[in-house]
A and B are shown apart, each in its own frame.
Chain A
Amino acid sequence: MPDERRGFLTKLLAMVCGGAAVVPPVAAGLWAFLDPLSRRSGAARFMPVTELSAVPDDGIPRQFAVISDRVDAWTGFAAEPIGAVYLRREKGSDMVEALSATCPHAGCFVEMADANRCFRCPCHNSAFTLDGGIVHPSPSPRPMDGLECRVGKNGQVEVKFEKFRAGIADKVATA
């Protein structure tokens, strides 16, 4: 075998062996690090939030905590507040509208403002009407996120508590 070719093979082998030795730790690390990508929240389900009588029929939204069991990696929590929704009922109506309290702009917590005339996000001033519509001009790319809501026979208000991606024009549920 000519020296030159032998030299090339040696170099190639050295690089391949050395490279192969480093691959497992890096790959194992990345494999574990990428774990969250394979995690899904699971399908959103209806959760009892309050009673119909607790939502006054005056068209003004009220904030309610959503209580649910929750798992954070290795810790399980029983019946914990996991977020909040606004519920609103028109005069004389038995229908309840539900809005997520999370701002669709960047994810802050939207609050009632201006003596209950509108919603406003305390972070970047996105403003919304009481039914969640956008008040222009607004930094928010879309209206507040409506949530599916139903009233059970026993007067229990149930909300399908979902989270949506912030900062985009479309309402897309997070994975």
Chain B
Amino acid sequence: MSRHTDQAAKTALKKGPLGQLADFFDDRTGFRAVVHEALYERVPGGARWRYVWGSTLVFAFMTQLITGLFLWASYSASAQTAWESVYYIQHEMTGGWLLRGIHHFMAQAMVVLLALHLLQVVIDGAYRAPREVNFWLGLILMMLVLGMALTGYLLPWDQKGYWATIVATNLAGIVPVLGPSIQQLVIGGNEYGHHTLTRFFAIHAGFLPGALIVMLVVHLTLFRKHGLHAKQPITKPDAMFWPDQVLKDAVAMLAVMAVVLGVILMPALKAMLAGEPIDPGHLGAELGAPADPSLPYAAARPEWYFLFLFQFLKVFEGWGATGEFLGAIVVPGLIMGVMFLMPIIGRWNLGHRFNVVFTLGILAGAGLLTALALNEDYYALWIDKAALADAERLYDETGGDEEKLAAAVGNDPAGIAAMKKQWHTLEKVRRSEAFLAASRQAKVDAARAIELAGRPERIPAAGMLELVRSDPLMQGPLLFAQHCASCHAHVDPLAPDAAAQFATASAANLFEFGGASWARGLLDPEQVGGPAYYGNTAHKEDDMVSYVTGDMTDADTWSQEQIEAVIAALAAEAGRPDPLSHPDLIAEGRKLIADGDRCGSCHRFGDNEMDLGTAPDLTGWGSREWLVGIINDPTHERFYGDTNDRMPSFGVAKEGGAPMLNSQQVGLLADWLRETWYRPASHVAGH
């Protein structure tokens, strides 16, 4: 045995098996030197808190990489599966809400950390020679991160991501020469759809992070090559990166993570303190209603850190196409250009000061624009609208016409100016109210979509949008507003503004049509000729009104019990019986309706032998089939025949054309009026 092996054996004995294994690998890889190199970096002047920003950014990126990969394991990029898979992650998978929440909020934290890191580098002049290239790499890294933020916003394929992306890609389209091609390439064609998602996903999870990793490796290598840019003057002794600075970095990372978790869990804590149940699906990142190109989305806004760019486009009001080009391309491009030149500008002392002021100015400007954007959107929340009541009344009277305004304030120039100022405020309030209403509606739609997705039947293969489009609760109000509301009201008679809505309507109020309360109003002599029933129609003086206000008020002909029986029977025909109605009462009511001396003297009911055509057939009155029939064709002899007032035959196609409403739409209206839509067994989803 040679002396050499003898010594090796002795050392091995001293080291134990783990040490031996480490030796084995170190001999073959040299990893100890690498680890030493990585950890034993000299930190001039010792570890400091101000050096942590870069490390927190690396940490944030690592968090995104980890959570992103796990999200990827459950995400499916296509127009019929993106929303659906994100819904499943958020609302059904154990811990999905937490995973998505961390990814969502860490992205926001990353933007904040980027701004801080950049600000510090500029203030410290750390871009100066020999660190110029590393500064440029940092700017490229920043753009890559912002690119990931932008592309990630679309991936859930919900309304807000969809509409924000339309704006962003349209702005890309105004780049001269190449713009339209760039736009076509990123959206994968001319229309937004499958390939918009697959491309955005590939860019978000492949191209950009791949490029980022390469750049980050070079950024960190150069950082090590040049050493840390120490803050002068150095007063303390140098220290090693490990463990002094690593400890500070780790504490900072933990703090960032704590903030992110805090934001996610805050609503849970609030609910817990209020003693309310916690639905984890509603923690973390929100998920809007599925993207619908045909449905306006007035609450479309980019993520908050892009709001300043969004607001910046409004600055160029009145500049036309030039303004948009300036706001979206030229000015942001120039700002980035100046930033790239900073290492060169900074060679002069004055240049460095310029850089600092410029960076602070840009951040302050972005902050101001963000504040302006938020103020515009939420203006109505912090303005006292009562003070504008006069201005509002005058505006509605004059329609904003200047001559009428002048006449109204007695041609007083000061009065006109004051009123115009108030009108300007009023317009801001109304815009804000429209935004807030759209935001509220977006929340309602999102909640409903999520409720529907949780049905026991699950989401159909055609995707969530089909389910949304076939939901009476979501589509009914839209169809009603478009096709029915120009004549009919749909308002609870007990609502504060019911009377005003009845007054402007020119046909019956259809709220709870088919229910006992509606039928009771119809048979009420006070109401039948009023605006909620026939008052504003051609039937105002017809037999029905005179019968209810005449014969039915005679207690000898119609006792109160008999009227109640008819109401109960009508509700039962509609399939909406009052649960308290006794079957005998309903049977009694049916007899009264069929009776040839009573309702049956005009109305067909079952086989009462009354001819069709004099009054609507009451057989199955208010049922789905009956409602579908009357919406399709009120001029049918089963309904109003040739006495039909003004109601269009929505389901009847004229020769060679299509009907105004297809059968699905008519069915949706009928179901919505009858309030038959999916209701979950329990409103608190437990997962």
Contacts and interface: CB of A to CB of B under 8 A. Distances in A.
A167 B656 CA distance: 39
Interface string B295-316: 1111110000000001001101
Interface residues of B, number: 65
Contact of A84 (B166, B294, B325, B434): B294
Interface in B278-332: 292-300, 310, 313-314, 316-325, 328
Contacts of A75: 79-80, 193-194
Contact of B654 (A65, A107, A114, A155): A155
B307 to A, nearest CB: 12
B298 A122 contact: yes
A21 interface: no
Interface string A59-83: 0001111100010111100011111
Interface in A102-118: 105-109, 111, 113-115, 117
B171 interface: yes
B195 A73 contact: yes
A122 B299 contact: yes
A124 B171 CA distance: 13
Contact of B173 (A41, A54, A166, A169): A166
A74 B197 CA distance: 14
Contacts of B293: 81-83
Given A108-B167, A167-B173, A141 B435 contact: no
A106 B657 contact: no
A115 B396 contact: yes
Contact of A169 (B189, B300, B320): B320
B297 A109 contact: yes
Contact of A106 (B79, B185, B190, B313): B313
A125 B324 contact: no
A72 to B, nearest CB: 4
A153 B314 CA distance: 45
Interface stretch (A5-13, A92-100, A131-139): A131-139
A106 B482 contact: no
Given A106-B167, A139-B316, A168-B174, A72 B185 contact: no
B191 interface: yes
B631 to A, nearest CB: 14
Contact size range, A: 35 or more
A95 to B, nearest CB: 18
Nearest to A58: B486
Contacts of A82: 293-294
A159 to B, nearest CB: 13
A168 B396 contact: no
B55 interface: no
B288 to A, nearest CB: 15
Contact of A113 (B185, B292, B396, B434): B434
A74 B198 CA distance: 13
B655 interface: yes
Contacts of A33: 185
B195 A36 contact: yes
B163 A139 contact: no
A58 B451 CA distance: 40
B406 interface: no
A97 B584 CA distance: 58
A127 to B, nearest CB: 9
B208 interface: no
Given A33-B185, A72-B194, A73-B193, A54 B660 contact: yes
Nearest to B426: A114
A108 B79 CA distance: 20
A63 B295 CA distance: 11
Interface string B180-217: 11001101111101110000000000000000000000
Nearest to A110: B296
A32 to B, nearest CB: 11
Given A75-B80, A101-B296, A34 B173 contact: no
A173 to B, nearest CB: 10
A105 B324 CA distance: 8
A23 interface: no
B314 A139 contact: yes
B163 A175 contact: no
A136 B79 contact: no
Instruction: Choose among B181, B194, B298 the residue with the greatest number of A CB atoms under 10 Å from its CB.
Output: B298
A111 to B, nearest CB: 6
A123 interface: yes
B333 to A, nearest CB: 15
A73 B191 CA distance: 10
Contacts of A115: 396
Interface string A23-66: 00000000001101101110000001011011010000011111
A72 B193 contact: yes
Given A72-B194, A166-B174, A152 B648 contact: no
A107 B170 contact: yes
B575 to A, nearest CB: 30
B404 interface: no
A154 B341 CA distance: 67
B314 to A, nearest CB: 5
A97 B400 CA distance: 25
Given A108-B167, A108-B300, A167-B170, A36 B399 contact: no
Interface string A9-22: 00000000000000
Interface in B318-354: 318-325, 328
B478 to A, nearest CB: 9
A156 B298 contact: no
A39 B194 CA distance: 15
Contact of B323 (A63, A65, A139, A175): A139
Contacts of B189: 36, 39, 73
A89 B657 CA distance: 20
B430 interface: yes
Nearest to B187: A36
B658 interface: yes
B431 interface: yes
B655 A109 contact: no
Given A48-B657, A169-B320, A175 B184 contact: yes
Contact of A34 (B167, B185, B297): B185
A114 B184 contact: no
Contact of A142 (B173, B190, B296, B321): B321
Nearest to A168: B321
A82 B469 CA distance: 13
A160 interface: no
B438 interface: yes
A107 B171 CA distance: 9
B420 to A, nearest CB: 15
B485 to A, nearest CB: 11
15 contacts: A36-B185, A36-B195, A50-B660, A75-B193, A75-B194, A84-B296, A109-B296, A111-B298, A139-B314, A139-B318, A139-B324, A141-B321, A166-B174, A167-B171, A174-B190
Given A40-B190, A125-B431, 10 more contacts: A36-B187, A48-B657, A81-B469, A123-B310, A125-B314, A139-B318, A142-B320, A167-B173, A167-B174, A167-B321
Nearest 7 interchain pairs by C-beta: A137-B318, A81-B294, A141-B321, A72-B193, A122-B298, A109-B296, A169-B321
